[in-house]
């Protein structure tokens, strides 16, 4: 039987949050009884930024930096293999691969319902569009096919402003149902589209802790550990927090495990594995004594699993700040090394989030049921 829903999202980015939110979306649609498949849209830029460690197109400085990955070549291959296995095992993806807007229009089969998924699919500043033509983003606005319904599910503009999203007003007005995962995104999209926009959770929160436990992995972590997860932010602000973190680990005889998928970090006394896949990421989050991250999914996964966490440098209006505000956890945001040092000297706070996340999950389900009724 042909699938009812064609879903388009960042499913093939070798990025933990991207593949895990795609998995959660499909699991939720399956649970609600709607057949679906992911439209296999992969921009060439997405492949380059996430799957090719040696970078040729981003200037000599980036190229020289990327050479740091060479000593870890075998580990990085294991990482890529883990992502490929996760995508082939857990995601239902269409067989036809399309890489341009023209191919999407001409080759993607007809679906009764088109759905744009979550992640920052409406943010043209993402790496997926770095070396692409301006129309590469249009498939994510569902500007193709002739479906009975166009639905946006938790689609995000990142931290772009109202003037930016005005550029896509004519496409947004074609949607039958609109939702986003950030309050500011909902506000801007509603103003531009002149439609109601529902605030829903990120799809990773569509699943409960128990439902995520189905994806099990056993790792050999001999000691308790702090888990640090960063993307593209290993610069002076983030380096400055290492001293208090190392002190906390030394005081408790903990390890420090740092993962930065597209940056090669190598710091004495810190474990920096280069072979980490999506299931490893879940293991580290669920078992860490403390998670420190400046990323969106590095913030919301420990909140879901109720693990002690710190969202570092999540400024006012950031995606992390908006989502933490929804569940009353703004106090987990730390902006300076001094504040971090003071936080780590006290008992680490274990958040109790199941009730508030559960309320947001139910609101999201009601939206989905309305869209698909």
Query: For the chain, which residues score pLDDT lower than 50?
Result: 233
Interior angle at CA 228, CA 227 and CA 230, nearest 5: 145
pLDDT for res 150: 98
Which tokens in the block code for residue 61? Answer: 């400085």
Please write down the long-range contacts of 233-239, taking CB distance under 8 Å and 24 or more positions apart.
233/294, 233/313, 234/260, 234/263, 234/265, 237/313, 238/294, 238/312, 238/313
Distance CA 318, CA 298 (A): 14
Residue 174: CB atoms within 10 Å: 11
Assessment of whether the complete model's pTM goes beyond 0.75: yes
* Res 230: pLDDT: 85
pLDDT of residue 244: 84
**H/E segment holding residue 85:** helix 73-90
Say if residues 292 and 270 touch (Cβ distance below 8 Å). no
């Amino acid at each position: 039987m042909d699938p009812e829903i064609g879903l388009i999202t960042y499913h093939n980015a070798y990025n933990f949050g991207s593949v895990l939110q795609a998995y959660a979306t499909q699991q939720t649609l399956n649970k609600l009884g709607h057949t679906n498949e992911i439209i296999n849209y992969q921009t060439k830029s997405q492949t380059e930024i996430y799957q090719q460690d040696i970078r040729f197109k981003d200037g000599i400085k980036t190229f020289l930096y990327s050479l740091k990955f060479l000593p870890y070549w075998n580990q990085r291959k294991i990482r890529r293999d883990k992502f490929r296995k996760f995508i082939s095992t857990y995601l239902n993806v269409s067989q036809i691969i399309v890489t341009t807007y023209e191919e999407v229009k001409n080759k993607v089969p007809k679906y009764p319902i088109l759905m744009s998924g979550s992640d920052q699919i409406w943010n043209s500043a993402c790496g997926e569009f770095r070396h692409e033509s301006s129309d590469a983003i249009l498939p994510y606005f569902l500007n193709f096919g002739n479906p009975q319904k166009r639905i946006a599910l938790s689609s995000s503009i990142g931290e772009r402003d109202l003037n930016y999203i005005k550029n896509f007003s004519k496409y947004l007005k074609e949607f039958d149902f609109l939702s986003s995962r950030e309050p500011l995104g909902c506000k801007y999209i509603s103003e531009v589209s002149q439609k109601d926009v529902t605030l829903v959770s990120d799809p990773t929160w569509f699943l409960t802790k128990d439902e995520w436990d189905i994806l099990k992995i056993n790792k050999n972590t001999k000691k308790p550990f702090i888990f640090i997860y960063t993307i593209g932010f290993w610069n002076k602000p983030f380096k400055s927090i290492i001293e208090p973190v190392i002190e906390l680990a030394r005081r408790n005889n903990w390890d420090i495990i740092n993962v930065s998928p597209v940056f090669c970090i190598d710091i004495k006394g810190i474990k920096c594995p280069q072979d980490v896949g999506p299931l490893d990421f879940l293991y580290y989050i669920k078992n860490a004594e403390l998670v420190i991250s400046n990323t969106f999914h590095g913030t919301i996964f420990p909140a879901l699993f109720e693990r002690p966490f710190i969202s570092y440098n999540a400024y006012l209006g950031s995606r992390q700040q908006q989502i933490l505000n929804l569940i009353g956890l703004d106090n987990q945001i730390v902006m300076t090394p001094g504040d971090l040092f003071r936080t780590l000297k006290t008992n680490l706070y274990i958040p109790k989030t199941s009730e508030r996340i559960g309320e947001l999950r139910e609101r999201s389900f009601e939206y989905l049921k309305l869209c698909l009724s």
